[in-house]
């Protein structure tokens, strides 16, 4: 995460695609869709280019980049939060995706989350300035460092967050229509291991499985991704499998036998009520798809009645992950206490500026 010279964005992108090829054959249609979506905004560009993050964060002051390294989320941003049902059927909110989990300075996650907010701060729908967003995220993070981690269970607490995260009846219908509009494929078009994982994760006595090739998200576009849907006990049930690769920060390393190991460890260490339907195998990630097992979209965040409260919760949830990885809050607190009060304002603004510059160069390509 130093400040050495970096290749151009196009060269870095090609290197990333070539590196993915060590683990699977990248899907050309997904990669084309990804490039198209990344042109929509600098925030979308940030989401789609985590492999470029070491270059973006290299602008941060040296003390920020020199923080202790732990297993962190990596690709954290405003849209990497969502919901699931725990083993008790309770609705849970938290970080949604650990695909890029890696051993990095823990400050990287805070800078990236605040930078993603800074990129949205210029939009009319976003209520906070870049500095207000950074301060709010850091305040939330400190709250859980001081008072201990606490999962976000949306039952007797956090009613405001449940109102944001829970799906209405109309949204549920839209969810299933969108899933079923994906490209349906023959089961033998799906790799055997992925097909077996889908079959084993769905109800045993369900009707015949319909298989789909799925395109979703942004950062993972280009990875093989499939879905199985069945009718069971009067309604639909769906699971997806997504090809796993290590974090892009490991691109210079030799091929890794268990590419999902960091993702698996990060989820296990985090202070949360686990999702019993999430299964991180060596080369595939299996998860349940439903209207209440989903990420919270950026337009929902933009129209949240209290964005400050929401970003505060994001900071707290990030602390839930870091405290588990670091084995407690002591080292995290000790290091942050030595940084200037405005460190996250400065670091996230500098990183966001570099993302903007990269984005503008990308639009010219």
Say how far apart CA 29 and CA 43 lie, in whole Å. 22
For residue 68, how far is the Cα from the chain centroid? 22
Q: Which two tokens stand for residue 189?
A: 């078009």
Q: What is the pLDDT of residues 21-63, one digit of tens each?
A: 999 999 999 999 999 999 999 999 999 999 999 999 999 999 9
Q: How many CA atoms lie within 13 A of 239 on its CB side?
A: 24
Give the integer Cα–Cα distance in Å for 329 and 79: 25
Please state which of the ranges 6-20, 96-110, 294-308 shows the lowest mean pLDDT: 294-308
Model confidence band, residue 2 (pLDDT cutoffs 50, 70, 90): very low
φ/ψ of residue 294, rounded to 5: -155, 170
Of 54, 57, 49, 116, the C-alpha closest to 81 is 116
332: left (phi over 0), alpha (psi -120 to 50) or beta: alpha
- Tokens 């009060």 map to which residue? 341
Average pLDDT, the chain: 93
Pairing between β-strand 102-105 and β-strand 69-72 as defined by DSSP bridges = antiparallel
In percent, how much of the chain has pLDDT > 70? 99
At residue 89, φ and ψ (nearest 5 deg) are 80, 10
How far apart (Å, rounded) are the C-alpha atoms in residues 139 and 119? 20
Which DSSP helix (H) or strand (E) runs through 50?
Answer: none
pLDDT at 5: 59
Q: What is the mean pLDDT of residues 275-287?
A: 95
Q: Can you give the three-state secondary structure of 146-168, one letter per residue?
A: HHCCCCEECCCCCHHHHHHHCCC
Task: For 70-95, write each residue's pLDDT tens digit.
Answer: 999 999 999 999 999 999 999 999 99
Give the pLDDT confidence of 235-268 residue by residue, as tens digits. 999 999 999 999 999 998 888 889 999 999 999 9
- Which 3 state secondary structure label does DSSP give 267? helix
Q: Which residue has the higher pLDDT, 116 or 172?
A: 116
Which tens digit of pLDDT belongs to each residue from 197-227? 999 999 987 878 999 999 988 989 999 999 9
pLDDT for the residue 294: 85
Residue 348 CA to residue 354 CA, distance in Å, equals 10
**pTM of the predicted structure, to 2 decimals:** 0.94
pLDDT, average across residues 108-116 = 98
Q: Which residues contact 286 (CB under 8 A, 6 or more apart)?
A: 197, 198, 201, 239, 240, 241, 277, 278, 279, 280
Pairing of strands 81-85, 183-185: unpaired
DSSP string, 281-341: -SSEEEEEEBTTBSBPPHHHHHT-S-HHHHHHHHHHHHHHHHHHHHTSSHHHHHHHTTS-T
Q: Could you give the CA distance from residue 172 to residue 166 in angstroms, rounded to a whole number?
A: 10
For the chain, the first-to-last Cα distance in angstroms comes to 26
Q: What are phi and psi of 307, to 5 degrees?
A: -65, -30
Q: What percent of the chain has pLDDT over 90?
A: 83
Closest CA to 352 of 97, 67, 129, 130: 130
Region 298-314: what's the mean pLDDT?
87
């Amino acid at each position: 995460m130093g400040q050495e010279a970096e290749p151009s964005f196009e060269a870095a992108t090609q290197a990333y695609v070539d590196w993915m090829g060590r683990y699977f054959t990248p899907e050309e249609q997904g990669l084309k869709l990804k490039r198209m979506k990344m042109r929509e905004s600098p925030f979308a560009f940030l989401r789609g280019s985590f492999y470029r993050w070491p270059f973006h964060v290299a602008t941060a002051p040296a003390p920020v980049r020199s923080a202790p390294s732990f297993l962190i989320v990596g690709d954290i941003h405003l849209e990497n939060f969502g919901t699931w049902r725990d083993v008790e059927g309770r609705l849970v909110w938290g970080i949604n995706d650990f695909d890029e989990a890696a051993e990095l300075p823990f400050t990287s996650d805070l800078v990236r989350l605040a930078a993603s907010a800074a990129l949205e701060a210029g939009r009319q729908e976003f209520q906070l300035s870049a500095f207000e967003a950074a301060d709010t995220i850091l305040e939330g993070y400190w709250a859980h460092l001081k008072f201990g981690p606490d999962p976000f269970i949306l039952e007797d607490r956090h009613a405001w967050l449940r109102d944001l995260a829970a799906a209405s009846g109309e949204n549920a219908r839209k969810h299933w229509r969108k899933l079923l509009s994906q490209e349906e494929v023959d089961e033998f078009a799906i790799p055997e291991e992925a097909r077996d994982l889908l079959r084993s994760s769905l109800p045993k006595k369900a009707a015949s499985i319909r298989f789909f090739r799925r395109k979703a998200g942004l950062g993972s576009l280009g990875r093989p991704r499939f879905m199985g849907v069945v009718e069971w006990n009067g309604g639909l049930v769906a699971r997806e499998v997504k090809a796993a690769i290590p974090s892009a920060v490991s691109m210079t390393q030799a091929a890794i036998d268990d590419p999902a190991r960091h993702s698996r460890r990060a989820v296990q260490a985090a202070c949360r009520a686990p999702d019993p339907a999430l299964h991180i195998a060596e080369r595939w990630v299996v998860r349940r798809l439903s209207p209440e097992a989903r990420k919270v979209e950026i337009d929902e965040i933009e129209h949240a009645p209290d964005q400050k409260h929401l970003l505060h919760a994001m900071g707290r949830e990030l602390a839930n992950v870091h405290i588990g990885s670091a084995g407690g809050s002591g080292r995290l607190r000790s290091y942050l206490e030595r940084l200037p009060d405005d460190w996250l304002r400065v670091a996230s603004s500098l990183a966001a500026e570099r993302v903007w510059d990269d984005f503008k160069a990308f639009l010219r390509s």
